[in-house]
Amino acid sequence: MTSSFTTIGGSGTTVNSLPYDTMSSNGQSSGTSGANTTNGTAGTNGTSGANSGINVASSLSTTSAADLQTTFLKLLVTQLQNQDPTSPVDSSQMTSQLAQINTVSGIAQLNTALTSLSSQLTAGQQTQAAMLIGSNVLAPGNTVPVKSGAASPFGVQLTSAVSNLTITVKNASGVVVNTINAGAQSAGTVPFNWTPTDTAGNKLPDGTYTISASYTDTSGKQYAPTTLSSAQVLSVIKQADGTPGLVLSNGSTVGFSQVASIFPNTTKSASTSSSSSSTN
């Protein structure tokens, strides 16, 4: 009984296959997979020693799922052709090997499908984001520009309903100029239209004001929810993670998923303005 070496693919990679019997009467080998025999003496091509250390698994790691499956089946057929007839391969082991290669192939195909789906979703988001160019949006921010006596809309993002939402407005010097008692509000995006006046009802000058929001729960613990500023979408860019980003007129760039509200240049908010909700 001798061993044979099988050459796989065009690269000439040689792997050792199972032993096979010399069944003929003159002692010649019944296998023909690369062994050279003369007068019953089995010989090899002389290259097995140099190639026996090749890591076949490593060389196959960069191939496609189809190539990997084809190579595996070739190896399996070669193994069956050169098995010892008196001790054949266990059928349960062969079934297990087939199941393993099918699992690997299935995972590779699933990864390919998911990658394609992710690319399609990203492309769809970029198209949707491009449709926002020219629109006004509410996105995370704390600035409220006042121009010609009118303030830009703003908002607050609430993760749960609250009973005592308060908005604090400060001028460029950091001085509190107004406090808006918004009262009970439901969870979600709460938009506001604010008439720019101070606590005494006096008209505030043009400029950029900052806002902060707060509320307390039933135990008296205070929270600061996310505030939202309005700005116009100027353009759309591709961010480092591949998702679309919106370049806003206030100089910031926000992710498409961070947009809390979309509205035209003139908006009517259902929220309470400071003229009816602020207190001295």
pLDDT tens sequence for the chain (280 residues): 444 444 444 444 444 444 444 444 444 444 444 444 444 444 444 444 434 444 444 444 455 666 777 787 788 788 778 888 877 777 777 777 777 777 877 787 788 788 888 777 777 777 878 888 999 999 999 999 999 999 999 999 999 999 999 999 999 999 999 999 999 999 999 999 999 999 999 999 999 999 999 999 989 999 999 999 999 999 999 888 888 899 999 999 999 889 999 987 654 443 444 433 444 4
In angstroms, the CA 228 to CA 146 distance is: 15
Per domain, the residue ranges of the chain are 5-83, 136-277
Q: What is the pLDDT of residue 60?
A: 42
Q: What is the pLDDT of residue 101?
A: 73
Which helix (H) or strand (E) covers residue 274, if one does?
Answer: helix 274-277
In angstroms, the CA 147 to CA 125 distance is: 33
DSSP codes joined into one string, 77-130: HHHHHTSBTTBPPPHHHHHHHHHHHHHHHHHHHHHHHHHHHHHHHHHHHHHHHH
Q: What is the pLDDT of residue 64?
A: 63
Q: How many CA atoms lie within 13 A of 10 on its CB side?
A: 0
CA diameter of the chain = 117
Domain range 136-277, CATH class: mainly beta
Say if residue 113 is exposed, middle or buried (CB neighbours under 10 Å; 0-12, 13-18, 19+): exposed
Instruction: Using a cut of 0.85, tell me whether the model's pTM lies above it.
Output: no
Say if residue 119 is exposed, middle or buried (CB neighbours under 10 Å; 0-12, 13-18, 19+): exposed
Question: Could you identify the residue written with the tokens 């509320």?
Answer: 215
Q: What is the pLDDT of residue 59?
A: 47
151: closest CA among 246, 50, 275?
A: 275
Q: What is the pLDDT of residue 217?
A: 92
Q: What is the pLDDT of residue 267?
A: 42
Q: What is the pLDDT of residue 265?
A: 61
Centroid of chain to Cα 23: 60
